[in-house]
Structure 1
Amino acid sequence: MSHEAARDVAWFTRFARILPLLPGDFDPTQSEGVWLHCTRSRHTIGRGAPGRIDVSVRVDNSKGHVGIVHATITWDDRTNLAYIEDSSLNGTWVGGRRLKEAEKVELKHNVVVWLGPPRKEKASAFIFESFLAVDRWVRRWCLEVTLGSGAFGDVYQMRLREEPNRVYAVKVAHYSSDGQSGRPKAEVMQEVNTLRRVQDHPNICAFEEHHDCLERGAIFVVMPRQSTDLRSHFARRRPTIQEIRTSLKQILSAIAHMQVNRMVHRNIKPDNIFVTSTSPYLLAVGDFGLAYPVNLPSTGAPACLYRAGTVWYMPPEVVTDAPLEDPFKFDVFSAGTSISHLAMGEEAFHTGPWDIPYGSTDEQDYFDQRELRWDLMESANLPPPCQNVLYGLTHPDPSLRWSIQEALTFSWIADADDASGQALPPPVPTIPYIDVTSEREGNNASADPSTSPAGPQLDVATKRRSPRLANAMKNGDVEKDGRKNVGEGKKAREVLKKAELRGRPRRRAKVA
C-alpha cells in the first residue's frame, strides 16, 4: 500500500477526535489531540505506565486524579455510535454527570468529559469531537476493504452506514491545487464528466455520485461494486467461443457508444472490463481515468498525443508522429488485443513488452513486429470468423484496421447472443397513424398470398402491442418503423378514433 493510500485509509476510518480542554491536560506528544479510528474496537484513556501499560490517549503524568487506565471508549459498527465506560477509582463525569460502576454512556458531539472530579487541579478533561457529525462523507460511508491501486487512484469497497447491505466501489483520485505536485483538478474531474456523458448504455459501468474532499485533495467517484473483471474471471480457463462472441459484441457496443459521445477510452484491457453477471453473461467497461474527448474533425493531430494506458494494448501508431486519421480505432485495437490474450494467452503476439524502455528503439521494434500468432489461433480451435474478427481488430495498419461499424455489422458479431438489454437495439416500432381506406369486402381477402409482399419480419413485442399493425406489416402495407405505404383513408381513421374514445374495440378496417 502506498503512503497516500495509507493516509486515505486512516482518514476514512476516523470516527472522533479527542481534544484536551485545557493546556497541560494531555501528554505533550498528544497536546494537539488524538484521532480515534474504527479499526480498533477499544481505545483506552489514562496516564499509562511507560514500558508496561500503553494507552490510546495519554493524560499528562502530573494529573494524579487520573488512573493508569481511567476509562475506555468503544465504537459500535452496527449503530455507528461511540460509548465511554469508567474503570477508575476517582470517577468519570460526562456532560456534568458521574458515571455509575460498569455504566456505558453514549458520547455526543462536543460533550465535555472529566477524568476525576471536575475542575480539580489534579483532574483532566477533554472534548469529544464526533467526525461523523463534522464530515458529511464519513457520516454516510464506511470503509470495508481496499480493492486495488493504480497509477491514477486507489479503489476501496465501502457501504452505506444507513443501508449496510448496499456495497459500492469508491475510486479516490488525488489532485493538486497548484497543478505542479500532481494532477490538476480539472484532469481528475474529466473522468467524472466522461462517466456522466456515457451513462445510458448497458455495457458501461454505472456512475452513482462523486464527492470533492478538500481536506484530502481528492475526488471520490462512487460506482457499483463489481464481483470480478475479465482477467480474474478467465484466470483458470479459456473463454468459450460463445463467450468470445458475446464479449466482443458488448465491448464493441460500449466503444461505439463512446464514439457517439466523442470519447476515446485509451485504457481498455481485461482488468478494466467487469463481469456484472454470469447468468446471463454481462460485461461493463469501466475506469475512465484516461478517457480523452475528441473534437471532430481530429485528423492531422500527431498520433503520439493519444498515447496512454498499458503498452500491451496500445496500437502501434501511437509511438509515431504520423497524423492520426481515426482516433476511435485506438479502442478497437485494445478490444481485439484484450480478447486475443484471453483466448490464446499472453503469447498471442510474436513479441511482448517485457522491460522495454520508454521511447527506445526496442519499443519501436516491438510495435512494428507485433502480430497475431496464427498457430495459436489454430491450437485454440478458433473458428475462421473469429480469426477474421481478431485480425481485423488488431491490424497494425490503422487504415486497414476495422472500424467499429465494420466490426459490429460483421455477421459473426452481429448475430451473437446478448442479454445486456440489446446493446444494439433494432428500431422501436412506432404507430403515429395507420392509414386505411374505406371498407370494401374482399379487398385483401381475395389477394393471393403467394403474390403479396412478405413485408418485414415481426417481433413478439409488435404482435402483442398492436395486432392490427402486425397484420398490416405482414401484408406489406406498413413498414416496421411506422411509415405509410398506402393512400389516405380519412373515413376509416375517423371510425377507429371514435371507437377508441368510446372504449370499445376497434372495428376492423381493410388496408388498401
Structure 2
Amino acid sequence: MSGRQGESGVGGSQAPPSAASSSSSSSGTLSSLETLPAPESLPPIAEEEPDEPPPQQPWGRLFALRPGFHSFDCLSNECWFGRDPDCGYSFTRLNLAHTELYKQCSKKHFRIFREPGPRNSHVAYIEDHSLNGTFVNDKLLGKGKKLPLTHNAEIALAQTPNKVFVFSDLMVDSQLEYPKELREKYIISNTLGSGACGEVKWAFERTTDRKVAIKIINKSRFMMDDLPQTERPFNVETEVEILKKVDHPCLIKIIDFFEGKDFYIVLELMEGGELFDRILPPARLSEAICKFYFYQMLLAVQYLHERGIIHRDLKLENVLLSSPEENCLVKITDFGQSKILGETSLMQTLCGTPNYLAPEVLTSAGTAGYGRSVDCWSLGVILFMCLSGYPPFSDQNARLSLREQITRGEYVYCAEKWKPVSKEAFDLVQKLLTVDVDKRFKIEQALAHPWLQDKSMKNRFQQLLTQMNDLVLPSEAPALPSTSRKRRHEKEELPTPKRATQTPT
C-alpha cells in the first residue's frame, strides 16, 4: 500500500473524487477511506530515536608513573605520544615545558597501535620515532623500530630512569588468580620484590589510578602446620593488627586487606625504594642525610615501643623512602615478625635477620627472653652501615663466626671508612652496639644524644610533614617482605674485628 500511496501523491494536491473512485475500482487496492478529505491537523508521526552506540571500551591502559603525567585509555587503534599538540597524548598539554625531560622528548616520540592477530585477536605494538630513544623494560627500541607491547611493560623516555608509563593489556585477564574483591578495586602489575613468604606487587586503584603496593603472603609457605601459631616465623594476623593500629608519618600505612588462596595486604607505595639501595658502593650517604633518616627511624621505633610493639626485624631493607629525592620521609615496614607485648612480657622466639640480631636474641632465646632493646641494637647496625657503607658483623669474617662476633660485640672497624665521620656519630653507634642490655642506649637516650641536636635537620623534617598535610607529628604514617637476596657488601674482605666498646684511634 505504501507504494501506491507514494504514487498517488500523498501530501500533494488532491485528485477529484471521480478520479479517485475510478482508480479505486480499477485497481481494487485502495479503500474508499482514502478519498475522504484530510483532517485539519494530524498528530505527528513519532520518529524512532536511533539507539546510542555503546560506550567504547579501552583495549589497553597506560598508568602514569611520573608526576605531571596522567593515565591514558587506548580507545582507538593508534595513538601518538610527543610534544606535538596534534598528538593524541601531547606532552605540551601537560605543562611540562619547564622540565628537562620535556626538552629531551621529540615532537612525535612514539606511537602505540594494535593490529589484527590470529583467531580474531589483536596484538599491541609500540614504535619508536624519537631522537633520544624510547625504552621498554629498560631496553632501547631504536628509531623506526617496533616491538610487541606486553602486559605490564614499562615505558621510559630518553633515559631508562625516566619511566613514565606502565602498560596494562585489558584484553588479557591476568588478574583471575586474585580474589574477586581485590580485582574489582585494583589492577595488579609488576613485582617489586620477593622474599621467603611471598612477594610485593605494584598495583593501581581502578577508580583513582593511585599507585599502591600489594604484599602477597603465600599461605602454603608461612603456615607451617607442625608449628603452633606463636612459633611461626611470620604472623599475618599480627602484622595486619599492628598496621591497623599504627598512625605515624614514619611507619607504613595499610590501605586494604583481602584473603583468598593467599593473604593480600594493600599498602601505600614508597617510590624511593629501600634504604639499602642508597648505600650500595660506590654510592654513599652524607653524614647529614644519615642523621636525617636515622632521626625519623628513632621517632618511628619510639612510637612503636610506647605502644608495646617490638619490631624484631629492623634492617636497611625494611626502611623505605617516600621519594627518589634525597630529602624525603623514611618509613619502617614489614611487621611480620613483630610482637605486641604485655606489661611484663619478654620474647623468647629466635627471629630476625642474622646480621642485625642483638646478642641477647642469640644467648637468651628460649630461656630468659629479651625485650625492646633488640630494636635498639638493630638500629645501631643500621646506623653503622649508613655511615660506613659496610656491615659491622659479617659471616665473611674468617676469624670469628657471625654468632661470636655479635655475642662478643666485636665489629669490624675500618679506619679509612670512618675517617669522614664525626666522633659524635660514631659515639652513638657505640652506645647502641653495646652487648650489656642495661648499658645499651634506649630510644629516648638516642634521641637526646648530642649528634641529633640539630635544629635545621628537625625543621626540615617538620617541613616535609607540612607538605604531606601532617599538622602534628603522630598523625600519618609499597611493604616489602624480607628479601633473601645475597648482599654485595657481605662478600667484601673485611679487616679484623674490634670490640664494640672500643673507641677508634
- The TM-score, its normalising length taken from structure 2, stands at 0.52
- Residues 359-405 of structure 1 deviation map (CA, whole Å, 9 limit, x = unaligned): xx945423234434454377432111111101011112212110111
Tell me which residue corresponds to 1:173. Answer: 217
- Residues 168-226 of structure 1 deviation map (CA, whole Å, 9 limit, x = unaligned): 1110013359851799699312111111222x21111122111122xx23233333243
* SS of equivalent residue, structure 1 residue 281: coil
Q: 1:325 to 1:421 in 2, by over 3 A?
A: farther
Choose the corresponding residue for 2:271, options 226, 238, 253: 226
Q: 1:373 to 1:131 in 2, by over 3 A?
A: closer
Q: Equivalent residues in 2 for 1:113-512 (5 A)? A: 135-164=180-209, 166-175=210-219, 180=225, 187-198=235-246, 200-213=247-260, 216-235=261-280, 236-277=282-323, 278=325, 280-298=327-345, 301=346, 305-321=348-364, 327-346=371-390, 348-349=391-392, 351-354=393-396, 362-376=401-415, 379-415=418-454, 417-418=457-458, 419-421=460-462
Q: 1:399 to 1:81 in 2, by over 3 A?
A: closer
| Runs of 4+ with deviation above 4 angstroms | 40-46, 74-83, 130-134, 176-179, 181-186, 322-326, 422-425
**In the TM superposition, what is the alpha-carbon distance from 1:241 to its structure 2 partner?**
1.5
* SS of equivalent residue, structure 2 residue 375: helix
Q: Distance in 2 between matches of 1:189 and 1:41?
A: 48
Q: 1:315 to 1:413 in 2, by over 3 A?
A: same
**In the TM superposition, what is the alpha-carbon distance from 1:42 to its structure 2 partner?**
8.5
* SS of equivalent residue, structure 2 residue 334: coil
**In the TM superposition, what is the alpha-carbon distance from 1:269 to its structure 2 partner?**
0.9
- Contact in 2 for aligned 1:239/1:342 (Cα 8 Å): yes
Q: 1:172 to 1:329 in 2, by over 3 A?
A: same
Q: Distance in 2 between matches of 1:306 and 1:388?
A: 31
* Letter of the 1:232 counterpart: D
- Contact in 2 for aligned 1:329/1:401 (Cα 8 Å): yes
Q: Distance in 2 between matches of 1:366 and 1:385?
A: 24
Q: Distance in 2 between matches of 1:317 and 1:43?
A: 63
Q: Distance in 1 between matches of 2:407 and 2:179?
A: 57
**In the TM superposition, what is the alpha-carbon distance from 1:345 to its structure 2 partner?**
2.6
- Contact in 2 for aligned 1:245/1:413 (Cα 8 Å): yes
- Contact in 1 for aligned 2:270/2:321 (Cα 8 Å): no
* Letter of the 1:170 counterpart: I
- Residues 102-153 of structure 1 deviation map (CA, whole Å, 9 limit, x = unaligned): xxxxxxxxxxxxxxxxxxxxxxxxxx9x969992211221122111111222
Q: 1:366 to 1:423 in 2, by over 3 A?
A: farther
Q: Distance in 1 between matches of 2:223 and 2:383?
A: 41
Structure number with higher relative contact order (C-alpha < 8 Å, ≥ 6 residues apart):
2
Q: Distance in 2 between matches of 1:354 and 1:161?
A: 47
Q: Distance in 1 between matches of 2:463 and 2:416?
A: 29
- Contact in 2 for aligned 1:174/1:219 (Cα 8 Å): no
- Residues 219-241 of structure 1 deviation map (CA, whole Å, 9 limit, x = unaligned): 33333243211111222322111
- Contact in 2 for aligned 1:175/1:217 (Cα 8 Å): yes
* Letter of the 2:442 counterpart: S
* SS of equivalent residue, structure 1 residue 252: helix
* SS of equivalent residue, structure 1 residue 243: helix
- Contact in 2 for aligned 1:175/1:183 (Cα 8 Å): no
Q: Distance in 1 between matches of 2:188 and 2:320?
A: 22
Q: Distance in 1 between matches of 2:115 and 2:237?
A: 36
Q: Equivalent residues in 2 for 1:32-111 (5 A)? A: 82=171
Q: Distance in 1 between matches of 2:336 and 2:225?
A: 19
* Letter of the 2:204 counterpart: R
- Residues 261-304 of structure 1 deviation map (CA, whole Å, 9 limit, x = unaligned): 11111111111101113363321111111111111213xx4x6x
Q: 1:142 to 1:391 in 2, by over 3 A?
A: same
Question: Which blocks of at least 5 consecutive residues in structure 1 are unaligned?
Answer: 1-39, 47-73, 84-127, 426-512
Q: Distance in 2 between matches of 1:266 and 1:190?
A: 13
Q: Distance in 1 between matches of 2:178 and 2:421?
A: 59
Of all paired residues, the percent bearing the same amino acid is 21
Q: Distance in 1 between matches of 2:295 and 2:411?
A: 20
Q: Distance in 2 between matches of 1:178 and 1:245?
A: 39
How many positions carry a matched residue from both structures?
A: 301
Q: Distance in 1 between matches of 2:277 and 2:151?
A: 36
Question: Which blocks of at least 5 consecutive residues in structure 2 are unaligned?
Answer: 1-113, 121-149, 153-165, 467-505
Q: 1:180 to 1:262 in 2, by over 3 A?
A: same
Q: Distance in 1 between matches of 2:382 and 2:248?
A: 21
Q: Distance in 2 between matches of 1:187 and 1:258?
A: 17
- Contact in 2 for aligned 1:208/1:222 (Cα 8 Å): yes
- The TM-score, its normalising length taken from structure 1, stands at 0.51
- Contact in 1 for aligned 2:151/2:167 (Cα 8 Å): no
